[in-house]
Chains A and B, each alone.
Chain A
Amino acid sequence: MNAAATASMTSTGEAVQFWILAVVATGGALGTVLMRKAVHSALSLAGTMIVLAVFYLANGAYFLGVVQIIVYTGAIMMLFLFVVMLVGVTAADSLKETIRGQRWLAALCALGFGVLLFAGIANASLRSFDGLGQANSGGNVQGIAALLFTKYVFAFEITGALLITAAVGAMVLTHRERTERAPTQRELSVARVRRGKQVPPLPAPGVYARHNAVDVPGLLPDGTPSELTVNATLRARGQIRDVSAEALGELAALEQRSSEWQGQKQGEGRKGAAQ
């Protein structure tokens, strides 16, 4: 094998790694698109990104591989997850399409685009791979640094300005200016009395029942469960455990058993009387 051929072919190890990880990356990408829950999408995406980091390393981009893990997977994806937690109260997206024909058009476009892109790559007169041995001879990080601070220094500085602008923009966008004085506790209590609704503190969950977990509603004196005792967030999520039904079910079972037992006794007595 000559040098060019060596450069244009990868080692067997890399090939095995590629074929395995490519499947993982594609699976992650599909998962990102197809998962109903945003959290799952984010996790799938994180997986794809880690695979990509490995590919970067395999391609000789050591610095980028590390940055990919730290910045993308570590920072950006966490930011995503953070926002999902902040926003995604709705547990899962409806996957039902609302725009007529959108899905068909999207599939058609994606298919056409993909086919054309593949055709383009296959058709391109790609030169043989030179490999990065020479470029990375002084160290990958040093090489990138040399480029960044010489050839691309201007773009680099502008990127810095962009990042600062983005940070300031994010703060401006998410900051909420208080336009009025916050009500004092006294005012809040007065307002509550005036509304005439639940003046005393809300009842604690599970107090009169056999459970004291926060997702179990307390029972009212007549035995019916009161949803008011459960945290509003849990109520919104529908995560209320209906212990009363369990308890009543158990009670019924108990009575059943005792009545069976008593019936047995009565039957025996009846038998005895008949005799």
Chain B
Amino acid sequence: MNPVNYLYLAALLFTVGAAGVLIRRNAIVLFMCIELMLNACNLAFVTFSRMHGNLDGQVIAFFTMVVAAAEVVIGLAIIVTIFRSRHSASVDDSGLLKL
């Protein structure tokens, strides 16, 4: 098997995650889909690391994880805050700027 298949899998996971972002309305699930996309990227990075024979790709993936963790923390805090005030976790309801 050619390791390029890892890249195809990463592309597939990324696409599925993106579709999820577009389809789901629950902010938490939406966030999960974003995590899925980030993980797909990480897989690609790791595969590239193997392809190039150095560890830079893994370092980048490591940074991605850190940033994802920070993002999740803040994002979930925002979701909780919004839920407290509006009693809804649907992204469609957060539309105060809507016409």
A and B directly contacting (CB within 8 A):
yes
Contact surface of A with B, Cβ cutoff 8 Å: 8-10, 14-15, 18-19, 22, 25-26, 29-30, 32-33, 38, 41-42, 45, 48-49, 52, 55-56, 59-61, 63-64, 67-68, 71-72, 75-76, 79-80, 83-84, 86-88, 90, 93, 97-99, 102-103, 105-107, 109-110, 113-114, 117-118, 121, 126-127, 129-132, 134-136, 140, 143-144, 147-148, 151-152, 155-156, 159, 162-163, 165-167, 169-170, 173-174, 176
Closest CB in chain A relative to B26 CB, distance in Å: 5
C-alpha gap A105/B24 in the complex (Å): 14
Decide: A118 and B50 in contact? CB cutoff 8 A: no
* B1-41, CB < 8 A from A: 1-9, 11-20, 22-26, 28-29, 31-33, 35-36, 39
* B43-78, CB < 8 A from A: 43, 46-47, 49-56, 58-59, 61-63, 65-74, 76-78
Contact surface of B with A, Cβ cutoff 8 Å: 1-9, 11-20, 22-26, 28-29, 31-33, 35-36, 39, 42-43, 46-47, 49-56, 58-59, 61-63, 65-74, 76-81, 83-84, 89, 92
Decide: B47 and A152 in contact? CB cutoff 8 A: no
Closest CB in chain A relative to B65 CB, distance in Å: 6
Closest CB in chain B relative to A165 CB, distance in Å: 7
Cβ-neighbour of B89 out of A41, A88, A121, A144 (below 8 A): A88
For B74, the chain A residues whose CB sits under 8 A away are 166, 169-170, 173
Decide: B12 and A76 in contact? CB cutoff 8 A: no
Shortest 10 CB-CB contacts between residues of A and residues of B: A130-B53, A33-B20, A166-B70, A106-B22, A15-B1, A173-B77, A110-B19, A114-B15, A170-B77, A117-B11
C-alpha gap A135/B50 in the complex (Å): 9
Closest CB in chain B relative to A125 CB, distance in Å: 12
